Amino acid sequence: MQQDESKRVFRNHPSVIVSYLLTAAIVMIVLVFLSLREYAWDNKFETIIIVALVMLATLGWAYFFWKRTFYVFEDSEIHVTRDAIYKMDKHIQYTRLASVGVKRDLVNRIFGTSTLIFNVNSSMNAASAEATLVLKKQMADRLRDQLNSMIFEKQVTVEQELVECQTLVRVSNADIVLHAILGQPTWQALFGLLMLFYAVVMLFAESSGGFLTAIVLFGIGEVLPFISVILKYYNYRIYRVGDTVTVESGLITSQRRSFKVNKINSVRIREPLLARLFHKAMLEAEVVGMADEDNNNAPVLCPLKGRKDVEDVLNRLLPELVFESAPERQPRRALVPMLITDAIATVFIVGVCLALFFTAETYLVGESETLTLAVRATELFAAVVVPILIFGRSGMAQRHRTFDTGKDSFMFVYGGYDICTEFINYDKVQFTRVTSGPLQRPFGLAQCTVNMMSSVGFKEITSGLFEPDDLERVADEVNARIADGRYDYRRYL
């Protein structure tokens, strides 16, 4: 088999071999410097020989697989064939594709190529694509235009999209930096502050090991996600053509991903605590076949902007899921079982923490006054701040939790410190579960858990505490739509 664009038979651009070599080189560098540093220093010649052999083996393996892998774009499917050590024939039907994305990393830019990413309607292939194909940029654009016309019924080419399609929301790069800072979940921000505090304490205690551990954890929990978000969402734009939504972003590695509106299960306005203090929010979606590993696997439809701006984007982008809401607020009596639960959790968590810290303090007596003081400060934190955080979450949840039903979707507002307003398509619900525990039953309250397919398997969304009959309206509507024919699976193929 040979590559022939006229017959729509393709093979990856040879630059994929360079990508494999770069990956292998990075792995070898990390392995040598972190694990085998002393051996490599004492045995320089042997190390060079070993590294050279590994790189040659990688080169041979990459060339062998590159030479024997072909992509055939037939009338109804993509046929991926590989005649290597193991023979592979993979068939991907066009009707099963959730999105066709384009990614351009540093290697792509150097060689003038683009990577086409094919995601199917499966939660298993959301984070990792079912297939990828690297072609010269012009060839990749032509192929993507052909696929878009077949899959998404789009007659607009990539070049026309760039010129004619205006973004639905103007997101500056300063907004992206703010998104990286304020858009993180509250628990992540608290963890970062805790590690920073721990690093300062270890610095004063002259404990280099503890200081380095805290700094590394702070870097992993705060610095790396901050940099990753900026690199990923820089130059952000989003637009809709017909029933197809396209999202573009990226600084070093640019990405362009398209998906049909009928693949969206739900859309949520998320307001982390830090963002809410500045009246800002972000827009996310649950799309089967697409995941965003930097954002809890939910693709971002609008980075952090003003709450009204986000609502405007939602109304213009996905009017099918939004409705005029007259929400029902969580009853005041729901606060009682919540506070009882908090009291039980506080006794358990604080008790365990204090027991551990008191034990640690007995070993530190006479060893280090600084460490002893740090442990006592942590004991005070556990005894005072932790209960405030636990009870404060319930207070905020009671204030914000609401519930409402519309014609084609329903709405849950849930969360404590981080508030989510989620609009869920009735037809995407797999099943619902209304439960009332021993603390909720005496007050005539229950909560509803909705299960639906998501980017990484399944997604559970749990409401606040409401009267059971009100929550049962969700299941009743789902069943009614199936019974009277309003639900038609063909709309979501």
Do 151 and 278 have their domain in common? no
Do 248 and 182 have their domain in common? yes
What is residue 189's predicted lDDT score, i.e. its pLDDT? 87
In a domain, 326, yes or no: no
In a domain, 31, yes or no: yes
Of 114-128, 171-185, 265-279, the least confident? 114-128
In a domain, 183, yes or no: yes
Q: Which amino acid is at 211?
A: F
Which range among 3-7, 33-37, 87-91, 332-336 has the greatest average pLDDT?
Answer: 332-336
In a domain, 289, yes or no: yes
Asked if residue 342 has pLDDT above 80, the reply is yes
In a domain, 124, yes or no: yes
- Closest to 311 measured CA to CA, from 174, 168, 175: 168
Which region holds residue 256: left if phi is over 0, alpha if psi is between -120 and 50, else beta? beta
User: CA 425 to CA 443: how far, in whole Å?
Assistant: 30
Query: Mean pLDDT, the chain, as a whole number?
Result: 84
Do 438 and 371 have their domain in common? no
List, in order, residues 6 or more apart from 257 with CB less than 8 Å away: 99, 101, 102, 117, 246, 247, 248, 290, 299
Do 144 and 182 have their domain in common? no
Stated as kind and residue range, the H or E segment containing 192 is helix 186-204
Do 157 and 244 have their domain in common? no
Do 131 and 24 have their domain in common? yes
378-410 burial, b at 16+ Cβ within 10 Å, e below that, comes to bbeebeeebbebbeebbebbbebbbbbbbeebb
Do 352 and 467 have their domain in common? no
Tokens describing residue 212 = 């380095």
Asked if residue 90 has pLDDT above 80, the reply is yes
Given pLDDT bands bounded at 50, 70 and 90, which one contains residue 370? low
User: CA 271 to CA 410: how far, in whole Å?
Assistant: 19
In a domain, 327, yes or no: no
In a domain, 324, yes or no: no
What is residue 364's predicted lDDT score, i.e. its pLDDT? 61
Say if strands 87-93 and 97-104 run parallel, antiparallel, or are unpaired: unpaired
Tokens describing residue 82 = 């590989």
**Count: domains in the chain:** 4
Query: Residues 37-65: what's their mean pLDDT?
Result: 82
Given pLDDT bands bounded at 50, 70 and 90, which one contains residue 245? confident
Do 220 and 300 have their domain in common? yes
Distances (CA, A) of 102 to 226, 294, 336: 24, 18, 51
In a domain, 322, yes or no: no
Do 50 and 131 have their domain in common? yes
Given pLDDT bands bounded at 50, 70 and 90, which one contains residue 293? low
Do 463 and 361 have their domain in common? no
Q: Specify whether the CB–CB gap between 473 and 481 falls below 8 A.
A: no
Asked if residue 351 has pLDDT above 60, the reply is yes
Count of Cβ atoms closer than 10 Å to residue 104 Cβ: 19
User: CA 100 to CA 364: how far, in whole Å?
Assistant: 59
Domain final position from 142, 164, 186? 164
User: CA 141 to CA 136: how far, in whole Å?
Assistant: 9
Q: Specify whether the CB–CB gap between 477 and 426 falls below 8 A.
A: yes
Domain final position from 293, 317, 341? 317
Q: Per residue in 211-228, pLDDT tens?
A: 788 888 888 888 888 998
Stated as kind and residue range, the H or E segment containing 404 is strand 402-405
User: CA 181 to CA 178: how far, in whole Å?
Assistant: 5
Domain final position from 284, 317, 350? 317
Of 99-108, 309-318, 400-409, the least confident? 99-108
Do 53 and 202 have their domain in common? no
Q: Per residue in 412-428, pLDDT tens?
A: 999 989 999 999 999 98
Of 199-208, 264-273, 382-391, the least confident? 199-208
Range of the domain at 393: 333-399
What is residue 36's predicted lDDT score, i.e. its pLDDT? 66
What is residue 95's predicted lDDT score, i.e. its pLDDT? 78
Do 159 and 43 have their domain in common? yes
